Amino acid sequence: MDPFWHRRDLRVTDNVGLSAAADRGPVVPCFVLDDAVLEHAGPPRVRYLLASLAELRDAYRERGSDLIVGRGDPAEILPRLADAVDADRVVWNRGYSGLARERDARVEESLAAGDGAAAAAPEAIDVETYHDAVLHDPDSIRTNKGDPYSVFTYYWKKWRDREKGAPETTPSEETLCDAETIADVVADVTSDLQSGDATIAAGTLPTITDLGVAEPEADPIPAGTPGARDRLESFLESDIFRYEALRDVPAASVTSELSQDLSFGTIGPREVYAATEDAMARAEAGGADGIVSDLEDADPVSSVTEFRSQLAWREFYLQVLFHNPETVSRNYKTYENSIDWREDPDALAAWKRGETGYPIVDAGMRQLRAEAFMHNRVRMIVASFLTKDLLLDWRAGYAHFREHLRDHDTANDVGGWQWAASTGTDAQPYFRIFNPMTQGERYDPDAEYITTYVPELRGVDPDPIHSWHELDPERREAVAPEYPEPIVDHAQRREEALATFEAARGEAD
Ligand SMILES: Cc1cc2nc3c(=O)[nH]c(=O)nc-3n(C[C@H](O)[C@H](O)[C@H](O)COP(=O)(O)OP(=O)(O)OC[C@H]3O[C@@H](n4cnc5c(N)ncnc54)[C@H](O)[C@@H]3O)c2cc1C
């Protein structure tokens, strides 16, 4: 019997490592709540994690097995578990961030040292790892010179043209360790662990309060594989064909909202990609033409391709982080001088509360609080506002997103922030600064998204909303007395941002 250690792959379907372990069977499935990891997880993510673990446990129980849930240091728990089941090896799917790789190396060392062995002569336990979270592993797509890619367009061409693996088969009941044996194993390991802080249980999950994490403000969404599959199914009905035309329009809500699922692995990337193949076949046969008939120039085929390119962006940022783990907290791009970010706690607090007086920015920041989610276009706008209009360090924005997003994902979050701050790979050039008013007007012309999240502006015509920064104080008072004045002047801040970046480039007078 070999333990399979679930981490960011909270599913039994389309799971590369689990299928490989099940081929030998029987598998002992486990997950470890590691305080070192929980420290970095905001409340919406912890809630989604616990709900997804409950779904994972139920999937095992339906198959006559159970999920072992440990709490503590995996380097302590896994060797004990492996020893208790007399394992030859422990199997898991690879993590790619610096933190995940360090932890995995530690666990591997303690397994190799036989740290869990009850016997006097400890036996080394092997580790077997798989690429599962991605369609193409971070080392497999390189430039013709053999370097990792730093420009998305070139990466995308190779990613797009490579053959993709089919979804993995789901392990059958016979290949999983039965629930009774799991209960015995847990009892065995529990008596072994008595001296330390670590605990282990068969399928019993702590509550969010047990973990010392506050209840999130946002409402929960359906979690685990059932939630993810429902979202994918509903996206495939029609939104995937309207995606290209409307993905930048936040009020249209055509995007898949699969980001937390891909991040926690409640759905596998091969399953999502296979779904795009079905959608592509339908689009190519003209079966989606009626769905886009009200949209000028919309093409269902290129819409499916556009969605695939977002899946590729995810893997692009992942390979950037894999090859440059330090960029989690350091700029990817080196300027000659350091960027002179400002210290302005009041402005940062107004941005966090969604009270900047820039309607699209405030709507986004309030969507984040209300739903633990934010539309991609709006993420770009609020990130640009923080780094260019307020001239605050992207790391402050990243920390806030990490705390509040249910889909926070180190690679994508760092990638998105460094893109907006003009410090990342293939980033927005420093001189292309978003105008938050024009962005609002272009992507939310009827102010539908804005008024959903900013009640002070409900009933106000789109015109004054999109020209709020130009209105005189009397007019603002007459139109929306409760909505704040702009905290900065965009035109002036734009000039200051250009000067700041030119100084960083060593081009100042
Ligand atoms: C400042 C900033 C911070 C971000 N932080 C995160 C984050 O913490 N976690 C996260 O998953 N995404 C992040 N993104 C990327 C993007 O905003 C979200 O992935 C997307 O909004 C999620 O919605 P969706 O699932 O409906 O996306 P869809 O448009 O349906 O895309 C499908 C999937 O592709 C991936 N994807 C889409 N857009 C991007 C992108 N620009 N970069 C990388 N992958 C992408 C996601 O996995 C997403 O679920 C960030 C973007 C910015 C600008």
Per-residue pLDDT of the chain (509 residues; tens, 9 = 90+): 999 999 999 999 999 999 999 999 899 999 999 988 888 889 999 999 999 999 999 999 999 999 999 999 999 999 999 999 999 999 999 999 999 999 999 999 999 988 776 666 567 899 999 999 999 999 999 999 999 999 999 999 999 999 999 999 999 999 999 999 999 999 999 887 766 678 889 989 999 999 999 999 999 999 999 999 999 999 999 999 999 999 999 999 999 999 999 999 999 999 999 999 999 999 999 999 999 999 998 999 999 999 999 999 999 999 999 999 999 999 999 999 999 999 999 999 999 999 999 999 999 999 999 999 999 999 999 999 999 999 999 999 999 999 999 999 999 999 999 999 999 998 889 999 999 999 999 999 999 999 999 999 999 999 999 999 999 999 999 999 999 999 999 999 999 999 999 999 998 66
Residue 88 CA, ligand 1 centroid: distance in Å: 39
| Residue spans in the chain of domains classed CATH 1.25.40.80 | 224-323
Neighbours of 468 (CB within 10 A): 27
Q: For position 120, what pLDDT does the model report?
A: 60
In angstroms, the Cα distances linking 484 to 280, 348, 459, 468, 476 are: 46, 15, 16, 10, 9
CA distance 390 to 364: 16
* pLDDT score recorded for residue 463: 97
| Cβ proximity of 400 and 352 under 8 Å | yes
Q: In whole angstroms, what is the distance from residue 60 CA to residue 418 CA?
A: 40
DSSP letter at 27 equals E
Q: Which residue of 375, 408, 412, 417 sits with most ligand 1 atoms within 8 Å of its CB, as the best mutation to test the pocket?
A: 412
- The amino acid occupying position 425 is T
382 CA: nearest ligand 1 atom? 1
Distance (angstroms) between ligand 1 centre and the Cα of 318 equals 12
Residues 6+ positions from 144 with CB-CB distance below 8 Å: none
Tell me the C-alpha distance between 135 and 139, whole Å: 12
pLDDT at site 133: 98
The reply to whether ligand 1 has any atom less than 6 angstroms from the CB of 417 is yes
Pocket test for ligand 1, best of 40, 97, 310 (most atoms within 8 A of CB): 310
Looking at domain 1-132, its CATH superfamily turns out to be: HUPs (3.40.50.620)
> Ligand 1 mean position to 408 CA, how many Å?
9
| Closest ligand 1 atom number to CA of residue 413 | 5
Dist CA 470 CA 473 (whole Å): 9
Reading across the β-sheet that carries 126-130, which strands appear in turn? 126-130, 89-93, 2-6, 27-33, 68-71, 199-202
Atom of ligand 1 nearest to the CA of 263: 11
- Phi first, then psi: give them for residue 29, nearest 5 degrees: -80, 135
Q: What pLDDT sits at residue 121?
A: 59
238 and 291 Cβ atoms separated by less than 8 Å: yes
Residues of the chain with CATH 1.10.579.10: 345-504
Is there an atom of ligand 1 within 6 Å of 409 CB? yes
Residues 6+ away with beta carbon under 8 Å from 391: 340, 341, 342, 344, 493, 496, 497, 500
**CATH topology assigned to domain 345-504:** DNA Cyclobutane Dipyrimidine Photolyase, subunit A; domain 3 (1.10.579)
Annotated binding site: 243, 255-259, 307, 310-317, 407-409
- Tell if the pTM clears 0.80, that is, is over it: yes
Residue nearest to atom 26 of ligand 1 (CA): 257
Locate the ligand 1 atom nearest the alpha carbon of residue 405 and give its number.
8
Q: Which residues, 6+ apart, have CB-to-CB distance to 501 below 8 Å?
A: 335, 339, 422, 430, 431
CB of 380 closer than 6 A to ligand 1? Answer: yes
**Intervals of CATH 3.40.50.620 along the chain:** 1-132
- Give the β-pairing of 27-33 and 2-6: parallel
Contact 351 CB / ligand 1 (< 6 Å): no
Helix (H, G, I), strand (E, B) or coil at 379: helix
Question: For the chain, what is the largest distance between any 2 Cα atoms, rounded to a whole number of angstroms?
Answer: 83
- 403 C-beta closer than 6 A to ligand 1: no
CA dist., res. 288 & res. 241, Å (int): 7
Classify the C-alpha dihedral 365-367-372-375 as positive or negative: negative
* ipTM of this predicted structure: 0.99
Question: Whose CA is closest to 371, among 499, 262, 219?
Answer: 219
CATH class assigned to 224-323: mainly alpha
Distance (Å) from CA 396 to ligand 1 centroid: 19
The residue whose C-alpha atom lies closest to atom 40 belonging to ligand 1 is 313
Residues shown for the chain: 509
Kindly give the distance from the C-alpha atom of residue 344 to the centroid of ligand 1, in angstroms, as a whole number: 28
pLDDT on residue 195 = 60
DSSP type of residue 388: I
Q: Residue 288 and residue 14: Cα distance in Å, rounded? A: 27
Burial 182-193 (b: 16+ CB within 10 A, else e): beebbebbbebb
**Binding-site residue positions for FAD:** 243, 255-259, 307, 310-317, 407-409
Ligand 1 atom at shortest distance from the alpha carbon of 259: 49
